[in-house]
Amino acid sequence: MSKSKQNLKRMFEAKSVAVIGASGDPLRIGGRPVAMIRDMGYEGALYPINPNRDEVQGLKAYPSIADVPGEVDLVICAVPGALVEDMLGQCAAKGVAGVIVFAGGFAEVGGDGVEAQKRLTAIARGADMRMIGPNCMGFANFANSMPASFHPAFARPMPKGNIGLVSQSGAFGGLSSLMAMDRGVGFRHVLTTGNEGDVGVADCLDYLVDDPGTEVILLYIEGVRDGPAFLDALAKARRAKKPVVCVKLGRTEAGAKAAASHTSALAGADAIYDAVFSQFGVHRVNSIEEFFDTGAAISVGGMPKGDSIALVTVSGGVGVLMADDAAARGMTVTELPQSTQKKFKEIVPYAGVNNPLDVTGQIINQPEIFEQAMRLVLDEGDYDAVVGFQGASLNAPENVESGLTMWKSLKTDYPDRTFAVASLISAEGQKRFEAAGIPTFREATHATRAMAAGAYFTRCFTTPFDWKPAAGSDAPLGNGTFTEQSALATLSAAGVPVMPTRSAASAGEAAAAAEELGFPVVMKILSPDIVHKSDVGGVKLNLASKADVEQTFGEMMTAVRAKAPDAKLDGVLLAPMISGGVETIIGVHSDPVFGPAIMFGLGGVFVEVLKDVSFRLAPFDTAEARRMIDEIRGRAILDGVRGAPAADVDALADALASLSQFAAAHRDRLLSVDVNPFVVLPKGQGAMALDAVIELKDD
Amino acid sequence: MSKSKQNLKRMFEAKSVAVIGASGDPLRIGGRPVAMIRDMGYEGALYPINPNRDEVQGLKAYPSIADVPGEVDLVICAVPGALVEDMLGQCAAKGVAGVIVFAGGFAEVGGDGVEAQKRLTAIARGADMRMIGPNCMGFANFANSMPASFHPAFARPMPKGNIGLVSQSGAFGGLSSLMAMDRGVGFRHVLTTGNEGDVGVADCLDYLVDDPGTEVILLYIEGVRDGPAFLDALAKARRAKKPVVCVKLGRTEAGAKAAASHTSALAGADAIYDAVFSQFGVHRVNSIEEFFDTGAAISVGGMPKGDSIALVTVSGGVGVLMADDAAARGMTVTELPQSTQKKFKEIVPYAGVNNPLDVTGQIINQPEIFEQAMRLVLDEGDYDAVVGFQGASLNAPENVESGLTMWKSLKTDYPDRTFAVASLISAEGQKRFEAAGIPTFREATHATRAMAAGAYFTRCFTTPFDWKPAAGSDAPLGNGTFTEQSALATLSAAGVPVMPTRSAASAGEAAAAAEELGFPVVMKILSPDIVHKSDVGGVKLNLASKADVEQTFGEMMTAVRAKAPDAKLDGVLLAPMISGGVETIIGVHSDPVFGPAIMFGLGGVFVEVLKDVSFRLAPFDTAEARRMIDEIRGRAILDGVRGAPAADVDALADALASLSQFAAAHRDRLLSVDVNPFVVLPKGQGAMALDAVIELKDD
């Protein structure tokens, strides 16, 4: 482990903390961390630093960080912005592992602030010392009883938990801590990152993946600065099977604009984030409630081992609502076994016994039928997830008691199933249920939503995954500009199939080349000076014979010379006339944050009108390429519609994977690739690029 | 008002109630309504009916309904199923306005139950007496303090409110009442309908629209039995500008299957419900929480008068989340005026002042900046809706007090704006805010979601609306089968433009007809016996001259005679060869519940692969047709893409409206119409049906 990573860990798990600018007033920004850390029962050493006082809030104070005896893992720097640089230097000299800088007025205000922040970063990095902030609220390590922050929310007792949260918004970090406590769900870490002068989201994520006590990770981000590090951390999370739930702000134009004005510009297209989330198995959500619900449900009750779900309900109407919700989220809601249906009908003749199993209002007279229904479903149906809707009953304390007994015994008797309870349960009841490992929801569809999220992670975690970023290569890549021909040749060399072509400088050569290719052929003028070939009569289709080719050659030369007298003409390019197949578009987009992303879409209106495209970060294998292909709405076109044969999806997937390898290898120089059309021929006949444009970055 | 409608109103607002099967035990099904009605403070007359007792729960009891002195508006019939028929007859004889039948074992169990229910319906309808149920939980009129039910939830005190709920699920009706109380939002009516032997959703909806005290209507339905009555009631709601929020179950296949097993089959495709909701301005939601949130927000705070929204926040991160949510739901999140930005920057230099306006953590030191921000935004920005996110602050009772003062004064000072507050507010705080007319949400995105729902209703209510169901006509409509030609002729007569055609019995006639139409033309064999014309050589395209036509005529006759020697040949049909334009598909689908619905989609893969279609119930005008056209995802195709000219959308809208009039007029006989392709030519050139199939219902 690098020194820098060691220090990150030392900081987050600090055994000794100093507060620079420690105040005797526990309500001031320099007094709060001292009071909060001490009062929460932190067991490490706590050193207030204050040159004017011997004692701060009952603790011995030191004039400077240099005066502190022994090692200091974490310094909370609570002094005004102007003093930070000096203090940071002192911390570096002392060998502090990490520093939190609360003060604002740095990169977020632009101008001189940007430069000032750069100086802080340089001091920290020069010493392998980590810095959180500036302009941040710090973090809280609840496992260590250490709220390294001035946010009052972190001062409140937190139940023991296994959730780690990373938030770029400090205010949200504080708020989330209150929300977790409200719900009785325990956070282990809340890490806020502020301006990210040094420590960013990727560092925090990486730390949480390595932390054995963190089992569920929540990310609240507007974007990331270090794309490759973020991807590495996500890949590690996926390999470790730690679910990552993410709110990524700025999914709409209005939101992106608001985010841009809120943070120092974080570039990167939202669609590319979506691609990253698909590829790495991150679950994206769009509300705080869903964010917490999902994290809490998995933290408390785990993830269903598959997609099948059974619903047991006291209200048929709510049962159907849950079936709709589960099915809309990709769960399978298959009918109960006939024997189960029959057995329950013997208990309640008029019950609904399909799936949902509706025990009906009979529950009022026979409360025991709910458990009977659950056990029948569990014994005879092979469902991964089972949700029980119990109406308002768990609002009453006496029902909480009996309900808890039932659910606990179900959990014990069926340890491989995942349960959730929906009921108008009281807050107190919810806490008791969740402490017993049974997630509860006041809204019925939130129970199915959470189960679907868990099943999503299971699906991801059981799918082979082999992200390995390409290092980039120094292999030469053209001389800065590509012609259509050299672009196709380059892609062909990279393993992307392209249409065979022949060049010819005379009518005779052209006729011979056409014969080699097979008729009919297409003829195009070859000239470095002509971009729009058809505008000057430089494209002829469907030439059917040698004679046709010879005559057209002469006509084309004459026509082009007349319209573009100054152009250098190198003869013509011949290619077979392709008919049939499905036109697609494949390409490379170079994202400023994440590097090369591969784009796939169907040709024509699918891309232009419907924006029906999918992205993946390069490089990837053919299995990932297939998932990418399967994501577009028009996917069925490739299976053949209106009498067309099925297309060669294997060849398409191979081409996408090859293009991704090419893009990754040349990530430093490649700006974009646009292969349009890329024709996918009928199954077994392959696929080929008919035209391609490659653009390089300016050197 | 019909007697039947008068009796519905008399029943729901009963001044006298009798309970047949009244029990002295207030926990039994026959005892509960007596106890509940009396204890809630009902001011009307309450008559327990029990032949075995003189007194029930302290009230004078009567041996039979006939013995009750004076009029009885409502009878609650709490006797077992086998006795219901007799009791119902006695109620009819007494002239009771309406009866609730709790007992089950009727249509929901099939077989004899269906017949038994029909007898109940016949008794009720024979006397213009209304019946709710059987197999129902009755209703609660909270305005009258009359819980006509045995569901214990209705026995609890309900705050005064203006929301009316109709639920086909009895259990959900009870649950919803608890949820409303929990939230401190008042329901005025909760009407559950059970088996709907007589009173259905449409009746209840109609009643609530007419009820002056009901201002917001919530529907929780699996489907409706009486489509036309439901539409009439929705139309009345829309004209009365009463918002209708609806959970319609069965939107997925799994849900629809569950619903089918749960209720006596309610047919009608879910897509047609969506069309109804679009057309009549109903807001469909898919969770109970959203259902209540939306209803409560409008009930408490009204609807924004337009789509523009401003966001004021104490957390930049949450502000962006709300901006995303509002924009994704169709609100406009435009930047604050420059002067406002400048003025707030003078108060908090580092604030985010775009929109959202982020007051930043500075709020901790200067709590007054939140109101300053709100007033600046309200004074200078012309926003219809303003949402304030106040973090966790309103969780503290002292902040509730000061917050309430601020919000009340804003509401007074800016009466034409609609407000919502998002904060981790306590339940108690939420009740106080909402009592003061300020909707509050613990989840930030639910505030924007509710504002967007309100704006949706405003948009609907300010859009002209003229639903007038066609009565159907006795005009003749073919003789049971249509040929392509007679189908096109029929549509043409109905105002749907069709391709001009000429029939010809000889080569000479054909050539003359072709000349009239203009070259090139298409020739098709005319024969009542041949369905697949191209299979027998009976279609030739692109005939460019008289000679061409004459020769092809002969060839076609020979070819067809060879392949279909027994077919009667009536000559050929000639039509101009249409090129250019956008291929669309328009049609009529006859829904079993709602009658004829018009379908629109783009041709080819749009309908077949993407299922990109929209529906509207017939009849409608061109304005509605345009909204229907605008709903498809591929809408931009009609504006012209890839160099194509814009299509004649006016002509398309006219054709859809004409088709809808035709479908409505012939609703009783028409099964389906499929016009494919319907070609929309470039703007100004019209549109035309090239082929059509009309199918009639079996007589």
d(CA A494, CA A675): 13
Q: Could you tell me how many CB contacts below 8 A there are between chain A and chain B?
A: 239
Structure-token pair, residue A489:
């040749």
Average pLDDT over residues A668-688: 95
* Listed range (A86-95, A104-113, B45-54) with the worst mean pLDDT: A104-113
Per-residue pLDDT, A46:
97
ipTM of the complex: 0.92
Lowest mean pLDDT among A462-466, A570-574, B182-186: B182-186
Share of chain A above pLDDT 90, in %: 81
Q: What is the pTM of this model?
A: 0.93
The answer to whether the beta carbons of residues A131 and A186 sit under 8 Å apart is no
Q: Which pLDDT score is estimated for B656?
A: 98
Average pLDDT over residues B469-477: 76
Average pLDDT of the residues in A516-520: 92
Q: Kind and range of the H or E element at B635?
A: none
Question: A697 CB near a chain B CB, below 8 Å?
Answer: no
- pLDDT for residue A488 is more than 70: yes
In sequence order, the β-bridge partners of residue A693 are A674
Residues B314 and B389: beta-carbon distance below 8 Å: yes
| Alpha-carbon span B669 to B651, nearest angstrom | 27
Query: From CA B373, how far away is CA B382, in angstroms rounded?
Result: 14
Cβ–Cβ < 8 Å for A602, A238 = no
Tokens describing residue B392: 């966790």
CA distance B288 to B296: 12
Integer CA distances (angstroms), A94 to A10, A73, A91, A130, B660, in order: 15, 10, 5, 13, 83
- Chain B interface mutation, best of A109, A167, A289, A321, highest count of B Cβ atoms under 10 Å: A321
Portion of chain A with pLDDT greater than 70, in percent = 99
Q: What is the mean pLDDT of chain B?
A: 93
Establish how many alpha carbons lie within 13 A of residue A31's alpha carbon, considering only the half-sphere containing its beta carbon: 10
Q: CA dist B331 to A255, B238, B285, B303, B324, Å?
A: 12, 21, 17, 13, 10
Convert A469-480 to b/e letters by CB count within 10 Å (16 or more is b).
bbeeeeeebbee
* pLDDT of residue A483 exceeding 90: no
Q: Which residues contact A264 (CB under 8 A, 6 or more apart)?
A: A107, A108, A110, A114, A195
Whether the per-residue pLDDT at B316 is higher than 60: the answer is yes
Per-residue b or e along B158-193, where b marks 16 or more CB atoms closer than 10 Å to that residue's CB: beebbbbbbbbbbbbbbbbbbbbbbbbbbbbbbbbb
CB of B478 closer than 8 Å to CB of B694: yes
B153 touches chain A (CB under 8 A): yes
User: Does the distance separating the beta carbons of A105 and B350 come in below 8 Å?
Assistant: yes
Give B483's pLDDT tier (boundaries 50, 70, 90): confident
Measured between CB atoms, does B27 come within 8 Å of chain A? no
Residue among B261, B263, B364 with most chain A CBs within 10 A, to mutate: B261
- Provide the percentage of residues in chain B whose pLDDT is more than 70: 99
Per-residue pLDDT band at B658 (split at 50, 70, 90): very high
What's the pLDDT band for B183 if we cut at 50, 70, 90?
confident
**Distance (Å, whole) CA A499 – CA A577:** 10
Question: What average pLDDT does this structure show over A623-635?
Answer: 96
What is the distance between the terminal CA atoms of chain A, rounded to a whole angstrom? 35
List all residues 6 or more positions away from A40 whose beta carbon is below 8 Å from its beta carbon.
A145, A146, A147, A155, A157
Which residues face B562 on adjacent strands? none
Average pLDDT of span B416-422: 98
Average pLDDT value over all residues in chain A: 93
Query: Considering only CB atoms, which chain B residues are within 8 Å of A333?
Result: 254, 258
- Please compute the mean of the pLDDT values over residues B334-357 and round it to a whole number: 94
Statement: residue B265 has pLDDT above 50: no
B194: left (phi over 0), alpha (psi -120 to 50) or beta: left
**Burial grade of A174 (CB within 10 A; 0-12, 13-18, 19 or more):** buried
Verify whether the Cβ–Cβ distance A258 to B641 is below 8 Å.
Answer: no
CA distances from A399 to A424, A439, B27, B373 (A): 12, 16, 18, 47
pLDDT for position B699: 65
Contact indicator for B550, B512 with CB cutoff of 8 Å: no
DSSP class of residue A76 equals E
User: Has residue B267 got a pLDDT over 70?
Assistant: no
Name which of A187-191, A239-243, A637-641, B17-21 the model is least confident about. Answer: A637-641
Q: Give me the pLDDT at residue B266, please.
A: 55
| pLDDT-derived band at B580, boundaries 50, 70, 90 | confident
Tell me, yes or no, if A444 comes closer than 8 A to chain B by beta carbon.
Answer: yes
Give the model confidence (pLDDT) of A63-73 as tens digits.
999 999 999 99
Rounded to an integer, the average pLDDT of B210-223 is 97
Predicted local confidence at residue A699, as pLDDT: 65
Q: Do A523 and A488 form a contact (C-beta atoms < 8 A)?
A: no
Rounded to whole angstroms, how far apart are CA atoms B9 and B193?
Answer: 15
Alpha carbon distance B390, B378 (integer Å):
17
- Look at A175 and A101; give whichever has higher pLDDT: A101
Lowest mean pLDDT among A499-508, A644-653, B213-222, B261-270: B261-270
Residue A264 reports pLDDT greater than 60: no
Measured between CA atoms, the residue of chain B closest to residue A604 is B642
Q: Do residues B673 and B682 lie in contact, with contact meaning Cβ atoms separated by under 8 Å?
A: no
Are B19 and B28 a contacting pair, CB within 8 Å? no
d(CA A543, CA A507): 13
Which whole-number Å values give the CA distances from B47 to A272, B38, B69, in the listed order?
Answer: 70, 11, 10
With contacts defined as CB-CB under 8 Å, which chain A residues touch B641?
Answer: 605, 608-609
**The pLDDT value given to residue A604:** 80
The encoded tokens of residue A263 equal: 């943070």
**Contact assignment for B315 to A175 by CB distance below 8 Å:** yes
- pLDDT over 90 for what percent of chain B? 81
Nearest CA in chain A to B255: A324
What CA–CA distance (Å, rounded) separates A581 from B688?
31
**Residue whose pair of structure tokens reads 């507050």 in the numeric block:** B421
Question: Which B positions 350-379 lie with beta carbon below 8 A of chain A?
Answer: 350, 352-356, 358, 361
Which chain A residues in 560-599 lie under 8 Å from chain B, judged by CB atoms?
A: none
Asked if the Cβ–Cβ distance from A324 to B255 is below 8 Å, we say yes
Using the Cβ of A170 and the Cβ atoms of chain B, whether some distance falls under 8 Å is answered with yes
pLDDT digits (tens, 9 = 90+) for A316-342: 999 999 999 999 999 999 999 999 999
The answer to whether the beta carbons of residues A250 and B320 sit under 8 Å apart is yes
Q: Residue A478's pLDDT is what?
A: 76
Find, among A197, A66, A74, A76, the residue nearest to A125 by Cα.
Answer: A197
Alpha helices of A263-385 — where are they, by DSSP H?
A: 270-280, 288-301, 316-328, 338-347, 369-380
Closest-CA distance, B472 to chain A, in angstroms, reads: 35
